[in-house]
Structure 1
Amino acid sequence: MRFTLSSLGASLFLLALSLSPALAHPPIAERPATEEKAAFEADRADILAMAGNFKVRFDMQESTSWRKGYTPLDRKISGGHEVVRVVEDSGRKIMLQHLLVVEHEGKSHVVKHWRQDWEYEPARILVYSDRNLWTWEDVPARMRNGRWSQTVWQVDDSPRYAGWGQFEEQGGIRRWRSNWTWRPLARRDAIRNPVYDRYYAINRHQISPDGWIHWQDNIKMSLEGGKLLPIVQEYVLNSYTRFDSYDVAAADDYWAKTKTYWAAVRGAWAEVADARGGIAVQEEAQTGTVISGRLLEIAEGIAAGETRSADAIDEARKLIVARTQLLARSAESPAAQ
């Protein structure tokens, strides 16, 4: 039997699609100044609520295989303790730094983790374009009003991914949802040398009564013969629950000693991105960028009192410029279109 829609049925179908929250959001209409200000302050409150001390649960599950013969990985659950601090809050821009605290043989070890930057109504974002390459992408002018971008940076403050979206309320729950974004493989996947080599994903952040959640809908994809093909779907739910019963002071001590150095590192990456229209730097499975290990090692020297901050900053700047300059000359056009 051939199925067709009547004119009325077609109209109702199109109306349902237009109202579906699963589809891309339309531009946000102009709002009265008081409403605009209230929405802006509510957004800021949700972003700032992600700062604090937390117990984290990482829950990852490959689910649907999009390639015949591919078997999804078993579910993986891990966890840890994470301190999140506000590094910058200038009103329209908020920067949050994550620091892991790991206990080993009775001693606390601090691992500088990811960073998330939020910007209100941005004109452009630094997006993942292809392997080893991040480029500037304009945010469509009609899509900026009332929206925030989120840019996620790796442990060495090199870029990871970026997206833009809006805070919305569905079913009495407020959340921020990104547009579709390209991302490089996370270390958990990269070290396995899988058949896929990047993610195409939607990113969501929601405040909960005792913390917040970060959940991702990832399509793991492979570039084959110049064409991107889906391999498997993955769902990731990272839950941050407020918790203080661990060595929070270790994270704050590390950050107090190294924050000047890391500010300079952020500045060096930003200078490269502005001067060259993006960042091209080689990545490796174990560490992220090929200079990540050394940049973190330098910070450890500062924290231990073995390295002068000025010397550390000088070395880091030279390293970033040298290793990005080499690739910038030969970087190919993005394949992820």
Structure 2
Amino acid sequence: MRRPLMISTILAAALAVAAPAFADTTPTVSTTQAPAGQFERDRQSILAQAGQWRVRFDMRENVSFREGYEPLEEKLSAGDEIVRVVYDDGNRISLQHILVMDDDMGNHFIIKHWRQDWVYEPETVLTYAGPNQWTLTPVPADERRGAWSQTVWQTDDSPRYGGVGHWSYEHDMAEWTSGATWRPLARRDAIRDVPYDRYLGSNRHALTPVGWVHIQDNMKMGPAQGDEGEPVAIVQEDVVNTYRKVDNYDPKPGDDYWAATKDYWAGVRAAWDERIVASGGLYLEEEANRGAVTGKPLMDWAEEVQAGTLTTEAAIARARDLIARATVAPTH
């Protein structure tokens, strides 16, 4: 029996990020479209990220911009991950990542990982606005023309970050690149005592002959010293996650999990959407180990649904109540 590489590391990575119902927080789509050939090529480039993959996670801090701060050693791990299409209605595509791992005893470890939602020519995008806060940000008409937004959601379908960019096919390469956007700390940093509290990062998704690659250029930012001011740069980090198409593991445990819980997660997405639409954004307390305080209960209820010890309807009711309570900003 094959042993997955660094299971504990991958489980931790899964909790670092992810992870809308069809119409709620999904931004309104413009009726103006790029030429049909370009639009469909973009769609197929996005859909090409679905499949069965071996993923290599490579994270490394490179250059320090604060005296006395030494960049961390590189962090490498790997795992098996399936990516399934949640929905595709033309202008909107949603892809769910699910880690599928096992050990020498034949035990399976399934983790609902992050989710990426793509919207063509979005009028708004949900962006991170600093600790515990996200906002629906308007996208100017000239910036959304021919563009796609990508919104990334954490494992419990709470928000992580969003950005807007264009697919390019220059130099015989299919590549989407976002502008720089704010992002909350990933678990690998949130659980440590670090001088930064957010990232300013850009995303690149590019197809390769064997799959695709997700590249992040993150500037880790900290509060200004002394008087209040703009966040300051601490250290630059590259994250390169490569997805190689493989067929040497059984994806069925991951697909079984998704088949059993997808209706529950649809209800969870709808609950998040309603809260985001109601306030034009979201307040949600962040937690170092889970990304959000809602992480553990929402994930646990999904496991109970799959086990048959909790009905989908009852789990959704619990989720809606939890999300409603967790997204009320404290008054001072």
**Shorter-chain-normalised TM-score: which range?**
0.7 to 0.9
CA distance in 1, matches of 2:331, 2:287: 18
SS at match of 1:239: strand
What is the aligned partner in structure 2 of residue 13 from structure 1?
Answer: none
CA shift, 1:106, in A, is 2.0
What is the aligned partner in structure 2 of residue 92 from structure 1?
Answer: 91
Moved more, 101-110 or 198-207: 101-110
SS at match of 1:284: coil
Instruction: Detail structure 1 runs of 4+ shifted over 4 Å in the superposition.
Output: none
Higher relative contact order (CA 8 A, sep 6+): 2
What is the aligned partner in structure 2 of residue 157 from structure 1?
Answer: 157
Max Rg structure? 1
What is the aligned partner in structure 2 of residue 176 from structure 1?
Answer: 176
- Code of the residue aligned with 1:101 in structure 2: it is V
RMSD value over aligned CA atoms?
1.4
SS at match of 2:169: strand
CA distance in 1, matches of 2:258, 2:312: 13
Going by fraction, where is strand more abundant, 1 or 2?
Answer: 1
The number of aligned residues is: 297
- Code of the residue aligned with 2:240 in structure 1: it is L
Tell whether 2:305 aligns with 1:302.
Answer: yes
Q: Give ranges in structure 2 of 5+ residues lacking alignment.
A: 1-31
Tell whether 2:222 aligns with 1:195.
Answer: no
- Code of the residue aligned with 2:316 in structure 1: it is I
CA shift, 1:151, in A, is 0.2
- Code of the residue aligned with 1:251 in structure 2: it is G
What is the aligned partner in structure 1 of residue 282 from structure 2?
Answer: 279
1:26-75 CA distance string (max 9 Å, x none) = xxxxxx98x71100011001000000000000011100111111100011
1:125-153 CA distance string (max 9 Å, x none) = 11000101000100011111110000000
What is the aligned partner in structure 2 of residue 231 from structure 1?
Answer: 234
CA shift, 1:76, in A, is 1.1
- Code of the residue aligned with 1:166 in structure 2: it is H
What is the aligned partner in structure 2 of residue 209 from structure 1?
Answer: 209
SS at match of 2:327: helix
Q: Give ranges in structure 1 of 5+ residues lacking alignment.
A: 1-31, 332-337
What is the aligned partner in structure 2 of residue 119 from structure 1?
Answer: 119
CA distance in 1, matches of 2:191, 2:39: 41
Please report the TM-score for the alignment, with normalisation by the length of structure 2: 0.87
1:155-206 CA distance string (max 9 Å, x none) = 0000000000001133221200001110000111111121111100110000
CA distance in 2, matches of 1:318, 1:244: 40
8 Å Cα contact 1:184-1:198 kept in structure 2:
yes
What is the aligned partner in structure 2 of residue 9 from structure 1?
Answer: none
SS at match of 1:201: strand
Please report the TM-score for the alignment, with normalisation by the length of structure 1: 0.86
Q: Map 1:114-153 to 2 at 5 A.
A: 114-153=114-153
What is the aligned partner in structure 2 of residue 40 from structure 1?
Answer: 39
8 Å Cα contact 1:124-1:138 kept in structure 2:
yes
What is the aligned partner in structure 2 of residue 255 from structure 1?
Answer: 258
SS at match of 1:61: strand
SS at match of 1:318: helix
- Code of the residue aligned with 1:157 in structure 2: it is D
- Code of the residue aligned with 1:257 in structure 2: it is A
CA distance in 1, matches of 2:128, 2:38: 29
SS at match of 2:315: helix
- Code of the residue aligned with 2:156 in structure 1: it is D
CA shift, 1:209, in A, is 1.0
CA distance in 1, matches of 2:268, 2:280: 18
8 Å Cα contact 1:108-1:247 kept in structure 2:
no
SS at match of 1:303: helix
Q: Give the one of 301, 304, 323 matched to 2:326.
A: 323
8 Å Cα contact 1:147-1:167 kept in structure 2:
yes
